[in-house]
Amino acid sequence: MINITINNNPFQVEDGSTILDAAKKAGVHIPTLCHLDMHDFKMVNRVGTCRVCMVEVEGRRNLIPACSTVVAEGMVIRTNTIRAIKARRTIVELLLSNHPKDCLICERNQNCELQSLAAELGIREVKYQGYQSHHKKDTSSYSLIRNAEKCILCRRCETMCNEVQTVGVYSAVNRGFETVIGTAFDLPMIETACTFCGQCVSVCPTGALTLVDNTAEVWAAIYDPEKYVIVQTAPAIRAALGEVFQMPVGSRVTGKMTAALRRLGFDLVCDTDFAADLTIMEEANELLDRLKNNGTLPILTSCCPAWVKFIEHQFPDLLDIPSTCKSPHEMFGAIAKTHYAQKLGIDPEKIVVVSVMPCLAKKYEAARPELAYGKNSAYVDYVISTRELGSMIREAGITFADLPDEDFDSIMGESTGASVIFGTTGGVIEAALRTAVYWLTGEKLDKIDFEELRGMQGIRSATIDVQGTPVRIGIAHGLGNARALLEAVRGGEKYHAIEIMACPGGCVGGGGQPYHGNNIEIIKQRADALYQEDKDKSIRRSHENTEIQRLYEEFLETPGSHKAHELLHTTYTKREKI
């Protein structure tokens, strides 16, 4: 511990702390913009580019950035001098002078850190007028939009992409006023190794990175009398949607969400959890097949499209080990437009499947040619995020908090507790084990909560004893952790099964969820909500889902059947690393 003074008050702080760290512990507020602290995911953005956190230190002529300056014994710091306050205001005024003035129609309106900072500093006019930088908007991808004109060069996206996700798409190019955060050779995003995880969107403080909004297309489908619109909602949505309407973090809003979807006008309101149970039937069967027949191990889960695209770019030599199972929402679309279209007596061409997902990569995934049927048809037509659904509910004038709880429709609406925990890191592999262990032993074990698979540690492993047979499980969340785990596999480390999710915390921390300010506690509370919903379910093993059992009896025959492979499994493609 070392002794410092902040605003005339003495404090003791840990050696190695920055001035900003020390101020936070002392309860002193210093405004920041480029700073980003995600210690739980081994990321701190301390580039100090915005200079908003400037403070005075006794004995130093110039103001210094609090976020990147380490404290020293006896340091005397002043955060609220008129010189520091004027410097911050001037810096933000300069940022605003080169920023578009379309706040009213910007996606980040009322949720923009630059906008909030301007209000905090009392800025009511843009004093500086001059040349503004102009860049072409990149709308090439299905998932996210890059608008460099709104970029403030905080480099959060670069740090997230390069250090946390290790994808390496973003980099600062050019110098001086021409500096921009761009891609290699200025390639459009769709032509890069971007996984479309959306974590860059999550950390961007302005509207420079936003999602592709599909709500207009969904509204058009709902109001088209020729269309029968089916909506499905991913597990993680129910643990986060309430935040859009100022409900406490971790609120479970499953029933209200279902009621809201009916009031929006969807013809059939279904649960992706149903398809998560279906995924477990196929994935657990695939795991057992590999174990019994000396197949390739480890098996890797394949529910996360960002992770799938990551391995296609970064580890093409390992493409024989992921499960061939489609992700749950794609399985849902395949069954909806085949078996249930026939049961409902509706032409599949008139069915529109809308997925509500916590993930921006699902938008890209729905357009993958491997997942299409026919020449121009997709099993999932549109993907909207949690934020987009919240926007539709507000637009329709629905008072979400006052809605009564309603159940999903009986068709593709039944689910188990195993499917609910798909939304958090460790949940998919735990759900798979609940069924795989039963199929392997023939015994209905009392223990179905595999606590050793849970938690927020970036890379975890556990050995599960199955009647004397050790089954080694690996888990990683965040693509940087996935890279480390896969490199260990390349090096000979042995696992039977590995679960990987691209986003920190899993789907609960997805790029389409309500902005969480990189607060690990918010992600944990969302995960806890899913585990609680799992406990409250009367059926907690996927193979006990009676609707899933009926689906196999009437249509799919058995897990791993020819028809199941035709509709529920996919292939992967080697891709360039750029």
Catalytic center residues:
283, 286, 303, 323, 362, 365, 370, 507
Main-chain phi, psi angles of 59, to 5 degrees: 95, -5
Assign 3-class secondary structure to 468-491: CEEEEEEEEECHHHHHHHHHHHHC
Q: Which of 106, 107, 114 is nearest to 33 (CA)?
A: 114
DSSP β-bridge partners for residue 77: 6, 57
Compute CA distances 176 → 153, 169, 173, 179, whole Å.
11, 21, 10, 6
Q: What b/e string do you get for 502-534 counting C-beta neighbours within 10 Å, with b at 16 or more? A: bbbbbbbbbbbbbbbebebebbbbbbbbbbebb
CA 158 from centroid of its chain's CA atoms = 17
**Do residues 360 and 144 lie in contact, with contact meaning Cβ atoms separated by under 8 Å?**
yes
User: For the residues of 210-248, what is the DSSP string, one character each?
Assistant: EEPP-HHHHHHHHT-TT-EEEEEE-GGGGGTHHHHTTPP
For 21, the token pair is 């760290």
H/E stretch holding 151 reads none
Task: Give the whole-angstrom CA distance, residue 487 versus residue 493.
Answer: 9
For 514, the token pair is 């309500």
CA–CA–CA angle 94, 96, 100 (5° rounding): 140
Q: What is the amino acid identity at position 241?
A: L
End-to-end CA distance of the chain: 45
Task: Give the whole-angstrom CA distance, residue 182 versus residue 576.
Answer: 18
Bond prior to 298 in cis (omega within 30° of 0)? yes
Q: Where are the beta strands (DSSP E) in 234-386?
A: 268-271, 299-300, 351-357, 372-373, 377-378, 382-385
Taken in order 85, 89, 92, 94, the sign of the CA dihedral is negative
**CA count, 13 A, side-chain hemisphere, 234:** 35
> Which residues 6+ apart lie within 8 Å of 571 measured at CB?
324, 370
Q: Where are the beta strands (DSSP E) in 227-374?
A: 228-233, 268-271, 299-300, 351-357, 372-373
Helix 305-314, helix 479-490: angle, nearest 10 = 50
**Do residues 84 and 78 lie in contact, with contact meaning Cβ atoms separated by under 8 Å?**
yes
Neighbours of 317 (CB within 10 A): 9
Q: What is the amino acid identity at position 60?
A: R
For 129, the token pair is 């007028």
